[in-house]
Amino acid sequence: MSAPPVPDFASALAASLRLSWKRLLRGRKVRLGAAAVVLVVVAAVAVRYLLEPEEPERVVEAAVRVGFLNMLVFLLPFLFTAGAIAEEVENRTLPYLTLRPAGRIAITLGKFFTGAGLSILLLAGGVLVIHVASFATDPTPMIDELPDTLRMIGALSLLALCYSALCLLWGSLVVEAGGLLATLHLAVIEYGFSWLPGLARLVSMNHFASELAGFERSGWGAESVPDVDTWICATVIAVVTLLYLAVASVVVRTSELGFGKA
């Protein structure tokens, strides 16, 4: 009796996506991420109608900038990808997965696309709800302002891909402390440097996403930051994302992943 054929890469990737998706849905991280998005949406709608009524365009922009670009786009990729490899190691399921004819690269990409896709889904859904709710009493400009909102969603989505790859990279490089190192990287390099003057701000992908979304610059010495075309901003984020993902794939493929012994 002949052995079953080894699945091709596409089949292995699809299997990894299904397993990663089921693991996320069975855990608490999706509920936590969704709750965080709901809190931001409720706060934005409350500002629009209850506390200090504002123009809907300003409410949408402020909510996306403060609640999404400065908070949720960090939180969601971290929740869904920083511990993706560590969970398999801790639960002793990684050896089983790597012995299957799926391939470590397919496993890595499956976890990346699952975490990043879910992050983008929650981010985009939250922004669209804020957009519709903000223009509910004045629906005429709702369609006119939609391109600007979609531009913000595009910038957030690209940044979520980048941060998902970043968190997956640290989670594969240092299984025991991947979450801590990812947090430090996001807090210092991505968030902290996005407020610095001059060329230092160009280190942060968050800055490029802010430029891509069309937000006005803020922070220390904002006028000293060089101007960069939007297509260059998108290209830089995409290239850095691919670099993070490539290194993470190589690490998972070549390393003996496990928790070190004290």
| d(C-alpha 88, C-alpha 92), whole Å | 6
Nearest alpha carbon to residue 210 among 184, 188, 187, 236: 236
Segment 216-241 shows an average pLDDT of: 93
Confirm if 59 and 47 have CB atoms less than 8 A apart.
yes
Confirm if 87 and 26 have CB atoms less than 8 A apart.
no
pLDDT surpasses 80 at 211 = yes
| d(C-alpha 221, C-alpha 198), whole Å | 7
Segment 159-169 shows an average pLDDT of: 97
Q: Which residues contact 72 (CB under 8 A, 6 or more apart)?
A: 36, 37, 40, 122, 123, 126
pLDDT surpasses 50 at 101 = no
Residue 233 — pLDDT band, cuts 50, 70, 90? very high
Segment 142-155 shows an average pLDDT of: 94
At residue 227, the pLDDT reads 92
**pLDDT tens across 56-97, in order?**
888 999 999 999 999 999 999 999 998 888 777 666 554 444
How high does pLDDT run on average in the chain? 86
- In the chain, the amino acid numbered 87 is E
Helix, strand or coil for residue 259?
A: coil
pLDDT surpasses 80 at 28 = yes
